[in-house]
Structure 1
Amino acid sequence: MLEGIIIKGIGGLYYVKTNEGLYKCKARGLFRKKKIKPLVGDRVIIELNEIDNMGYIMEIEDRDSVLVRPAVSNVNQVIIVFAVKDPFPNLWLLDRFLLLSEKENINPIICFNKIDLIDEDKLKHINGIYKDTGYKIINTSTKKIHGIEKLKKVLKDKISVFAGPSGVGKSSLLNFVQPNLKLKIGEISEKTKRGKHTTRSTKLMELNFGGWIVDTPGFSSLNIDFLEEDELESYFPEIVKYSGNCRFNDCKHDKEPSCAVKNAVEENLISKERYNNYLMVLNEIKNFRRY
């Protein structure tokens, strides 16, 4: 028996990295009967068949966390990458990534890439939107080789998912973090200023300075139907900070009077962009639950 970690899964075959090497494995039929599918990131115990040198996954250890999309387990943190330009950052989408990370109890880190394309005032404004959230923010540029060492420091000895839309520079960043990854870098459409998908499958890659990363296909939307109206504010740390001072205990910070959160927005203690995104999600939940 060998212990290992699944680094890739294709067509019912799983590639498991162990201290004795990399083995191609199949899952026991027992898992199918229990409707358990091995995931990239799973810590597993395998048994080798000496005849064909094929491994068989005998046991999947308890998972610390599970992401559905991308399908990966035991992730410690999500590096949410958005470009500050080409394409311009869709902060509404960024906040959905943050919501999903919070729901899954996985630490999110915001990475604003391509900072060489904007001036310092614009970068300060974008950073300021999230300065009161408590989330770690890293500004990066592969052109200026800025922020790469900070990124490597947070990746060390962790299993990290890189997530974000296509074209924001995830693969370029990973190639700077570790050049021998040689990930394919996509082109930016001149018409839409959006990226073309380059990552086709989920794969766990080992870092030579310690840790693992997952480069995933780009996303254009995230389903948040798991959210309930009453719990939404708990996913916005800066709103939680002021909500206890609202007049009503069940205040949704929308149309209610004497709302401390709305007052904080007016006083620029909470970002208007974040608050507006909160309201958009709140209305989305209300409309979803209505049907």
Structure 2
Amino acid sequence: MKGQIRKALSGFYYVQSEEVLYQTRARGNFRNRKITPLVGDEVVFESTSLTDGYLLEILPRHNELVRPSVANVDQGVIVASLVEPNFSYNLLDRFLVTLEYKEIEPIIYLSKTDLTDETETLQEIVEKYQKIGYTVIAATEDEKAVRELERLFPERLTVFMGQSGAGKSTLLNRIVPGLELETAEISESLGRGKHTTRHVELIPIAEGLVADTPGFSSIDFLDIEARELPKQFPEFVAASSECRFRECMHVNEPQCEVKKQVKAGEIAATRYENYVQFLEEIENRRPVYRKKK
């Protein structure tokens, strides 16, 4: 039989197949072959009952995320809080780069807008990212924003991402009353929330599937190579055809169109500054040595 893993918990994988949910385990050779099933995987499995089945094969993935552990994701909703925790251009751009690299469509959802009077800052954020081409939803009117987000769900697998305490679980509880996902209290000493979502589960919402996932406050670029980084900034890609050098890194090269547009205010300075920081992180990271199979 074929199906999709909807939940992974305590070594069991719950597979949805033709409206029926089967509890399964991975075959022993999965571990020997270093195959880890992920929520979102399309699989081939066998089952003698609803609670006694085995995964036989993981079908090819379109993409996969490590944090959160989800496969075959169509779009990622980055929930970015304006206050408590405070908004960070750097963190938002980290999420965007990660999603771009995985070929996952980003959606920016700005939460807790009712807790700040900084309307100019809010408008600046919205305009900056809409100009690049991103979908940006600001929760200035809660119900309207929730419905706007919900319209993007049908027939797509959506992952919620963002810093702990930014409001991911609260937002999902608003979309689906009665879901009652546990929400986090903000730790005042750390300025960030406690982890509350302890496993990944795909929830059927608005004719699509949504994964509520653990929040975290930092992302390390472990897979992206330096040469690949400029391609994860859509506005850099658009400008780079005018750069003097074909593989321009937009840092030290002369006649660089990206730097020219940054200076002219056509590309946001915050985006360029974060790019330079990310590039430095990638170039200075320690090499990862993988064991030969």
TM-score (norm 1): 0.90
Aligned match for 2:275, one of 250, 275, 278: 278
Measured after TM superposition, the shift of residue 75 of structure 1 is: 0.9
1:84-134 Cα deviation digits (max 9, x unpaired): 111112221221111111111111111111122234322111123323322
Verify: 1:251 aligned to 2:248, yes or no.
Answer: yes
Identity %: 43
Residue 25 of structure 2 is aligned to residue 26 of structure 1: yes
2:211 aligned partner: 214
- The 3-state SS of whatever aligns with 2:152 is helix
Which structure 2 residues correspond to residues 132-143 of structure 1 after superposition, within 5 A?
132-140=131-139
In structure 2, how many angstroms separate the alpha carbons of the residues matched to 1:163 and 1:74?
15
Per-residue deviation at 1:245? 2.1
State how far apart, in whole Å, the 2-side matches of 1:246 and 1:255 are. 12
Summarize the Cα distance change of 1:40–1:85 in structure 2 as closer, same or farther, 3 Å threshold.
same
The aligned counterpart of 2:175 is 177
Where 1:154 maps in the other structure, the secondary structure is: coil
After superposing the two structures, state which structure 1 stretch, 223-232 or 64-73, moved more: 223-232
State the Cα deviation string for residues 160-206 of structure 1 (Å, max 9, x = none): 11011101000011111111321111112234442222111111111
> Which residue identity does 1:132 align to in structure 2?
K
Aligned to 1:9: 8
Q: CA RMSD in A?
A: 2.2
Q: Which residue does 1:268 correspond to in 2? A: 265
Contact 1:130 1:271 in 2 (8 A): no
Distance in 1 (alpha carbons) for counterparts of 2:248 and 2:58: 44
Distance 1:255 1:37, change over 3 A: closer
**Greater mean deviation of Cα atoms: 152-161 or 13-22:** 13-22
The answer (yes or no) to whether the contact 1:16–1:22 under 8 Å persists in 2 is: yes
Structure 2: distance between partners of 1:272 and 1:278: 10
Q: Deviations over 1:29-56 (max 9, x none)?
A: 2323322121111122332225x84122
User: What TM-score do the two structures reach when normalised by structure 2?
Assistant: 0.89
Change (3 A) 1:57 1:251: closer
Measure, in 2, the Cα distance between the counterparts of 1:164 and 1:45: 32
Give runs of aligned pairs for residues 191-230 of structure 1, distance below 5 A: 191-207=189-205, 209-230=206-227
Q: Which moved more, 1:126-135 or 1:241-250?
A: 241-250
Query: Which residue of structure 1 lines up, in the alignment, with residue 291 of structure 2?
Result: none
C-alpha contact (below 8 Å) 1:139/1:146 kept by paired residues: no
Q: Would you say the 8 A contact 1:81–1:112 is kept in 2?
A: yes
Query: Is the deviation greater in 60-69 or in 156-165?
Result: 60-69
- 1:129–1:30 CA distance, 2 compared to 1 (3 A): same
CA contact (8 A) 1:185 1:198 kept: yes
Q: What's the secondary structure of 1:44's corresponding residue?
A: strand
Alignment partners' CA distance in 2, 1:260 and 1:3: 50
Amino acid at match of 1:18: S
Residue 8 of structure 1 and its aligned partner are, at CA, apart by 1.4
255-264 or 63-72, which deviates more: 255-264
1:228-255 residue CA offsets vs partner (Å, 9 max, x unmatched): 2222211111112222223344432223
Between Structure 1 and Structure 2, how many residues are aligned?
287
Cα distance in 2, alignment partners of residues 162 and 59 from structure 1: 27
Q: Name the aligned partner's letter for residue 280 of structure 2.
A: N
- Mapped to 1, the partners of 2:203 and 2:287 lie a distance apart of 43
Alignment gaps of 5+ in structure 1: none
Q: Is the 8 A contact 2:24 2:51 kept in 1?
A: no
Say if 1:95 and 1:232 are closer, same or farther in 2 by CA, change over 3 A. same
Q: CA deviation at 1:272?
A: 0.8
AA partner of residue 36 (structure 2): K
Q: Which residue of 2 aligns with 1:71?
A: 69
CA contact (8 A) 1:129 1:273 kept: no
Q: Which amino acid in structure 1 is aligned with residue 227 of structure 2?
A: D
- The equivalent residue for 1:166 is 164
Q: Tell me, what secondary structure is at the counterpart of 1:132?
A: helix
